[in-house]
Chains A and B, each alone.
Chain A
């Protein structure tokens, strides 16, 4: 690479020679872009309905235990497609980079995006880069959009939720949020907590091979498991009853939550999903999920009930009942 500075300059976003070099030397090799026209053209669309999604990633710090903003920006969008039952077809990526951002960090982020897109088998087919003045961004922001195809017969929607449906979770909760929070605040835990960020498309594809009649899928990102369940309860007009003892919270996450006064049910995850399924399909699906890497800790955590409508009830380990409501804002560490 023939850049004469280790840091991104404003002129790298100005449309001139420096920008072309940045794109040629960094983005094109990372993303295997075939053409640099204004639009990418998708040939030979497979049959089925198209799913389209977009999401922006602004995480701080952009490197965290278990991942980085690049990995997150690919997985997050692939997972949004997967939660619609869609097989990811291609992605786009837009970068807003702050003046002074280290090229080395950019390379690490692009390498990680390349590695995960190769693993998933999906291409980033078009992109965009802007550079903003120092102080006007937080290092790097990435927007990705994704296009996927939903096979005929797959219909995933909160409106499909029925009383008696089983609620499945594919893994332990709280890992992403706590690991990022710990990194952000210089708190360390032994063993080190890692973000669970990972793509879930193959887990979903495996589930859909078992049965196309999955009622709803969600990945509990911001707001955590409690918020996701509450959204689904509200959308379906039904209630959800879950058992605390069936939900896996890793000791490190539990310890950090106790220390900071946080509730793991509201902590973000980036690599698990919640599924509402017909009770007759539940055990079979859990068995199939357990055979995969990303679903090996899957279990049934509860079921859908008619009343109380639009509410999520948690049966606590000691047998009490607690309501899980939406939070009015972020969880904040308390002191007492």
Chain B
């Protein structure tokens, strides 16, 4: 079955008389593409670009620094997902802050953080909430639980992001050299198909909601090539076994009950309008920023970082002056190097640059 899809991809590519650049938007796709060795199976002339990656990697330096600042209070426990621990701020990561004495704990679910709050009633327990539309409904449900059970020492620091506004911002920048989008399966489970329609309608690019095993990903690529070869641009769904066109209405509704869209800063891309989620007015008392009002200045990204251009597909990592010198997997500067499977990190390893 796999061989059939691969040979169909080859035939379709032969019918398209130019190089094709496809962007996978989601970090899980990037990881799966590496794990399965999918690039090896694709014919010459199909380039896979990694998009904004996982929601954790795009957390801004300012947000990491602010959470570290908050963590210095003796009455605060910070809780977060494991992969957030290594994301660098201006000078240090949460891991480093932990070694300096901050109480920072890894959790697997925001509900674990709520339990920590329940068990430590004299402390302010803050969940550093990252994630796309897949995690924000769960965080909303956790706040609902905190409200209902009267756990008043539970707060969040939201750096939640949403996918469609980020794609719109990328496309509106006018520089994106992408012929089609491999759209994220998990996020689409929640939001469905409709929020992506502008990609096809306004920007004439095809997109396919795609699953995560090797067959899913290759099938998604084949569906994109079919559209490109036929000069079409539509949003299609390869992952029909999981994703319904309308998404998960209950999850969307709880997300909308607790969160409102806000402008959000993405590492490497800057501030993208309407691409974040913050707690709505009614639940401001759960927002640690409105309780502690931390003041962190600076936190600007190094000017030479080219992540934005790499994410848009207009530069390759080696075009960046920091690549392999100031920016390495051990000491990453930009989002593309933070993630172990980000574009820059992958280039770094595949090009065999020796660690000094």
**A contacts, CB < 8 Å to B:** 185, 187, 260-261, 263, 308, 311, 314-323, 325, 327-329, 332-336
Q: Is B162 an interface residue (CB 8 A)?
A: no
Q: A253 → chain B, closest Cβ, in Å?
A: 15
Q: Are A322 and B35 in contact (CB under 8 A)?
A: yes
What residues of A have a CB within 8 angstroms of the CB of B40 in the complex? 319-321
A198 to B135, CA, bound (A): 40
What residues of B have a CB within 8 angstroms of the CB of A260 in the complex? 108
12 contacts between A and B (CB under 8 A): A185-B108, A315-B37, A318-B41, A319-B37, A320-B40, A323-B350, A327-B340, A332-B83, A333-B108, A334-B82, A334-B83, A335-B56
A335 to B82, CA, bound (A): 8
Q: Are B36 and A316 in contact (CB under 8 A)?
A: yes
Q: Is B198 an interface residue (CB 8 A)?
A: no
Q: Are A187 and B108 in contact (CB under 8 A)?
A: yes
What residues of B have a CB within 8 angstroms of the CB of A315 in the complex? 37
What residues of A have a CB within 8 angstroms of the CB of B324 in the complex? none
Query: Do most interface residues of chain A lie in helix, strand or loop, or is the interface mixed?
Result: loop
Q: Is B54 an interface residue (CB 8 A)?
A: yes
Count how many chain B residues have C-beta atoms less than 8 Å from C-beta atoms of the other chain. 36
Q: Is B134 an interface residue (CB 8 A)?
A: yes
Closest to B350 in A: A323
- Complex partner residue of B2 from A318, A325, A335, CB under 8 angstroms: A318
Q: Are B135 and A335 in contact (CB under 8 A)?
A: yes
Closest to B329 in A: A328
Q: Are A336 and B56 in contact (CB under 8 A)?
A: yes
What residues of A have a CB within 8 angstroms of the CB of B134 in the complex? 336
Q: Are A323 and B349 in contact (CB under 8 A)?
A: yes
What residues of A have a CB within 8 angstroms of the CB of B352 in the complex? 308, 311
A333 to B36, CA, bound (A): 19
A327 to B329, CA, bound (A): 9
Closest to A336 in B: B54
Q: Are B56 and A329 in contact (CB under 8 A)?
A: no
What residues of B have a CB within 8 angstroms of the CB of A323 in the complex? 349-350
Closest to A327 in B: B340
* Residues A336 and B27 in contact in the complex (CB < 8 Å), given A316-B35, A319-B40: yes
Q: A319 → chain B, closest Cβ, in Å?
A: 7
Closest to B212 in A: A258
Q: A310 → chain B, closest Cβ, in Å?
A: 9
- Complex partner residue of B37 from A322, A332, A335, CB under 8 angstroms: A322
Instruction: Given contact pairs A320-B36, A320-B41, A335-B130, enumerate 4 new A-B contacts (beta carbons under 8 Å).
Output: A320-B40, A322-B35, A334-B83, A336-B26
Q: B110 → chain A, closest Cβ, in Å?
A: 10
Q: A102 → chain B, closest Cβ, in Å?
A: 21
- Complex partner residue of B36 from A308, A318, A329, CB under 8 angstroms: A318
What residues of B have a CB within 8 angstroms of the CB of A335 in the complex? 54-56, 81, 83, 130-131, 135
* Residues A336 and B131 in contact in the complex (CB < 8 Å), given A328-B330, A329-B86: yes
What residues of B have a CB within 8 angstroms of the CB of A185 in the complex? 108
A84 to B254, CA, bound (A): 59
Q: B284 → chain A, closest Cβ, in Å?
A: 25
Q: Is B85 an interface residue (CB 8 A)?
A: yes
Q: Is B193 an interface residue (CB 8 A)?
A: no
Closest to A335 in B: B81
- Complex partner residue of A319 from B26, B41, B54, CB under 8 angstroms: B41
What residues of A have a CB within 8 angstroms of the CB of B37 in the complex? 314-316, 318-322
Top-7 shortest CB links A-B: A320-B37, A332-B82, A320-B40, A333-B82, A316-B37, A336-B54, A334-B83
Closest to B184 in A: A336
Q: Is B74 an interface residue (CB 8 A)?
A: no
Closest to B331 in A: A328
Q: Are B85 and A332 in contact (CB under 8 A)?
A: yes
Q: Is B267 an interface residue (CB 8 A)?
A: no
Q: B334 → chain A, closest Cβ, in Å?
A: 16
